[in-house]
Homo-oligomer: A and B are copies of this chain.
Amino acid sequence: MLQNTTSIRVRYADTDKMQFVYNGKYLEYFEVGRTELLRSCGLAYSELEKAGYQLPLIEAGVKYKSPAYYDDVLEITASINEINSAKVYIEYSIKKENADEIIVTGFTSHMFIREETKRPTKPPQIYIDALKKYFQ
Contacts of A67 in B (CB 8 A): 56, 118
Complex A-B: 7 CB contacts under 8 Å? A11-B28, A13-B16, A15-B17, A17-B70, A59-B64, A60-B62, A61-B61
CB under 8 Å from chain B, chain A span 6-41: 9, 11-13, 15-20, 22-28, 31-32, 35
In angstroms, how far is the closest chain B Cβ from the Cβ of A63?
A: 5
Q: A56 to B24, Cβ gap below 8 A?
A: no
The answer on a CB contact under 8 Å between A46 and B70 is yes
Distance (Å) between the CB of A1 and the closest chain B CB?
24
Contacts of A70 in B (CB 8 A): 17, 46, 49
Instruction: Give how many A residues have a beta carbon under 8 Å from the other chain's beta carbons.
Output: 39
Residue of B nearest to A105 (CB): B59
Question: Is A126 in the interface zone, CB < 8 Å from B?
Answer: no
A38 to chain B, nearest CB (A): 11
Query: Knowing that A11-B31, A35-B71, A46-B71 are A-B contacts, what are 14 other residue pairs whose CB atoms are under 8 Å apart, sorted by A's residue number?
Result: A11-B32, A15-B17, A16-B16, A16-B17, A18-B54, A23-B27, A24-B24, A24-B25, A24-B26, A24-B31, A27-B27, A46-B70, A59-B61, A60-B62
Say yes or no: B64 contacts A45, CB within 8 Å. Answer: no
**Would A12 and B25 be within 8 Å (CB), given that A58-B63, A64-B56 are in contact?**
no
